[in-house]
Amino acid sequence: MTSPRQHHESSNEQKRFGDETNSSQGRPWDRNTPLKIISWNVDYTRPEPATRMAAILDYLRVRFNKQSDRLIILLQEVCQASLKQLLNTEWVQRNFAINGLKSPTNIESVLLPLPSEMRRDALIVDIPLSTPMDTVPISGKQDIFRLCTTHLESLGKGFDLRRKQLEIISQKLKTGKNHNIVAGLVGGDMNSIEDVEQTWPSDLGLTDVWVEEGVLANETVANSPISNSLGRSSGHTWGYQPKGQYPPRRFDKFMYTGSLRVASRIDGRISERIERLGIWLRADLSPIDRGRTPVPSKTRDLWASDHFGIAIEVSIP
């Protein structure tokens, strides 16, 4: 699932928020069935976006191929070149539908414009849920899991807009005109620069998965013989690939509301709920990628993204 606005403007499949229908063709998501959800800002600003996207997708294929039938990927900062690479990737073609381009018949997808000076928005999908055998749907409404991805306003000057944007998303995760929202989840780049922003989810009635757990566990390190903490105790997802003038931050988050169960397993003394992905992951600029045009040395050893990906496993009881 991709979220940059430039990809939606050419699509006829997107509805304006509020134009909900009761369309629920196809098989709903079975309750108590685990679903893996990944969020990753893939960084549109750096060179070779297609090659970097290829590296990220290959990494995810190797890591999660056995779970492809119950896997959702939320991507931010997808430019046209990286989108083309995504659509031409066989693993994606075989296993995924791309919300934001053409939605599956049983899933409603809406684009929600947000108040923004940077054209930020939220992509929201409603996934129908199976109905428990011993219950009756409320007022005949379809039970749904509402899923959202977004990239909130950037930089210090975006502080006030980020708060307003998250407030709007929180409201939409809880209220639906024609549906009964059993649970709602938003994942994405929240650009939480100021310390006070870490309290916003609870202020707005959302549960921040990392704060709820209080520990980040089961890091998946790519192309490295050892595991470097890289801000593990603080949940950092940005600021190491490469290091820059700004301190590392926990920009990327999952927040939820309603009856959502986040899986937790014990590995030794560590409880696993959130997994950081793509640590040390670099793009392979092979001669095939470069073609006949020499690539400047500064682009030959690229980080796949300046963000780590994050992943959780959820279910609805």
DSSP 67-120: GGGGEEEEEES--HHHHHHHHT-HHHHHH---TTTS--TT-EEEEEE-S-SS--
124-177, pLDDT tens digit by residue? 999 999 887 656 555 678 899 999 999 999 999 999 999 999 999 999 999 888
Residues contacting 191, CB < 8 A, separation 6+ = 151, 152, 153, 154, 155, 158, 162, 251
Segment 205-258, tens digit of pLDDT: 999 998 876 544 445 555 443 345 777 777 899 999 988 888 999 999 999 999
CA distance 265 to 291: 45
Instruction: Provide the pLDDT confidence category of residue 309 given band limits of 50, 70 and 90.
Output: very high
Classify residue 52 as left (phi > 0), alpha (psi -120 to 50) or beta.
alpha
Domain ranges of the chain: 5-315
pLDDT band at 203 (very low <50, low <70, confident <90, very high): very high
- Name the percent of the chain lying above pLDDT 90: 58
Query: In residues, how long is the chain?
Result: 317
Render pLDDT for 271-300 as a digit per residue (tens, 0 to 9).
Answer: 568 889 999 899 976 543 434 344 444 445
Burial 184-216 (b: 16+ CB within 10 A, else e): bbbbbbbbbbeeebbebbeebebbbbbebbeeb
Q: If you search the block for the tokens 């520990």, which residue do you land on?
A: 215
| Structure confidence at residue 226 (pLDDT) | 37
Residue 206, φ and ψ in degrees, nearest 5: -115, 150
Confidence bin at 77 (pLDDT 50/70/90):
very high
Q: Which of 76-85, 101-110, 165-174, 244-253 has the lowest mean pLDDT?
A: 101-110
Q: Identify the architecture of domain 5-315 in CATH.
A: 4-Layer Sandwich (3.60)
Please say whether the beta carbons of 308 and 59 come within 8 A.
Answer: no
Q: Which of 98, 97, 90 is nearest to 7 (CA)?
A: 98
Please report the pLDDT score of residue 286 as a whole number: 52
